[in-house]
Amino acid sequence: MATEQVISDEARKEIEALFHHLPKKQAACIDALKIVQKHNRWVSDQALVELGPILEMTPHEIDSIATFYNIIFRKPVGRHVIFLCNSVSCWIMGYEGIRNALKEKLQIDFGMTTKDDRFTFLPIPCLGNCDHAPSMIVDEDLYEDLTPEILDEILAKYE
């Protein structure tokens, strides 16, 4: 089988470094998934297969965990991920206006990826930034007090 290896040696090393503080390898499962995602953007079926022997788990066992958590992506995502908060304070403060504006600009709605693979657009529960609602995170950057007007400037930062 000539399946291409998707977990790089570097990622593998990072995963193995997790083990020393843990009583068993399986306990590193979530962090390992995060590392894979950091390197690959998402966790493919092949990644589960490769993770198996590293964590001494089967792909089924890892997938059971991966699919529980919403920040582990089991489907491909774009180069940048926009997480727009849709929880109560942002709702009160009008996140829906931001959603509509982004929808128009990117031509995609929640759960979708732009054709050019640039953005994936996702709703996210409360970002803990309620005093500056509406808020969103792009990749790891937090944006607050959003208005439709400032979106272009933000999006322009992500290629």
Partner 1 sequence: MAKVIIDNVEYEVPDGKNMLEVCLSLGMDLTYFCWHPAMHSVGACRQCAVIQYRDENDTRGKIVMSCMVDAVNGTRISLQDQKGKDFRAGNIESLMLNHPHDCPVCDEGGECHLQDMTVMSGHNYRRYRFNKRTHVNQDLGPFVYHEMNRCIQCYRCVRFYNDYAGGKDFGVFASSGRVYFGRSESGTLENEFSGNLVEICPTGVFTDKTLRKHYTRKWDLTSAPSICHQCSVGCNTLASERYGGLRRILSRYNGDVNGYFLCDRGRFGYEYVNDDKRLTKVAQKATSDTDAFASVKNLVGSKPRMIGIGSPRASLESNFMLKQLVGEENFYQGIPQHEAQLAETAFNLLRTVGVKTPSLSEIETYDAVLVLGEDVTNTAPMIALALRQAAKNQPREEAYKLKIQKWNDAAIREVVQDRTGPFYTATPCSTKLDEIATQKFTGDTNHLLALSDKIIAAIAGSQGGNDNTDAYANDVAKALLSCKKPLVVSGTGMMSKEILLAAAGIARALKVSGKEAGLTFAVPEVNSMGLALIGGKYWDEAVARVQSEKDTIAIVMETNLAYRFGKKNAESFLKNCKQVVMIDSLENETTAFADFILPAGTFAESTGTVINNEGRAQRFYEVFVPKNEIRSSWAWIDQLTHSKESARHFDTIVEEMIAHYPILEKIRDLAPDANSRIGTQKIPRETHRYSGRTAMNANISVHEPKPPLDEDSPLTYTMEGYHGKAPSKAIPYFWSPGWNSLQSINKYQIEVGGPLHGGNPGIRLIEAGDNTGGDLKNTGSNKTNNGTFEVLPSHHIFGGDELSAKSAPLATRIPDTTVSISSSALQRSGIEGAESLSINYDGEAHSFKIKIDNSLPDNVLMLPKGFNETKGLLFPFFTEISKG
Partner 2 sequence: MERPLTEHIKKDGTALTLKEYEAVGGYQGLRAALKMTPAEVMGVVKDSKLRGRGGAGFPTGLKWSFVPMGDDVPQPKYLVANGDEMEPGTFKDRLLIERNPHQLIEGMIISAYAIGASMSYIFLRWAYHEAANRVLLALDEAYRAGYLGKDILGSGFELEMDLHTSVGRYICGEETALLNALEGKRANPRNKPPFPQVSGLFGKPTIVNNVETYCNVPHILAKGAQWYISISKSEGGGGTKLYGASGRVKNPAIWELPLGTTLGEIIEEHAGGMLDGYKLRGLLPGGASTDFLTPDHMNIKMDFEEVGKAGSRMGTGTIIVLDDKTCPVGMCLNLEQFFAQESCGWCTPCREGLPWTAKILLALEEGRGKPEDIDHLTFQTHYNAPGNTFCALAPGAMEPLQSALKYFREDFDEHIHNHSCKYHRH
Question: Which residues of this protein are in contact with partner 1, per CB under 8 A?
Answer: 24, 26, 45, 48, 57-61, 63-64, 67-69
CA dist 83 and 125 (Å) reads: 9
**Which among 36, 109, 115, 117 has a CA at the least distance from the CA of 73?**
36
Choices 5-13, 106-114, 137-145, 151-159 (CB under 8 A): range interacting with partner 2: 137-145
In the complex with partner 1, the residue whose CB is nearer, 44 or 89, is 44
48 binds, among partner 2, partner 1, none (CB under 5 to 8 A by kind): partner 1
Spatial strand order of the sheet with 112-113 comes to 112-113, 119-124, 80-85, 136-138, 141-143
94, 135 contact by CB (below 8 A): no
User: What minimum distance in Å lies between the beta carbon of 59 and partner 1?
Assistant: 5
User: What minimum distance in Å lies between the beta carbon of 2 and partner 2?
Assistant: 31
For residue 12, give the H/E element and its range.
helix 9-17
Residues that bind partner 2 (CB under 8 A): 21, 23, 26-31, 33-34, 64-65, 68-72, 83, 86-89, 91-97, 124-133, 137, 140, 142
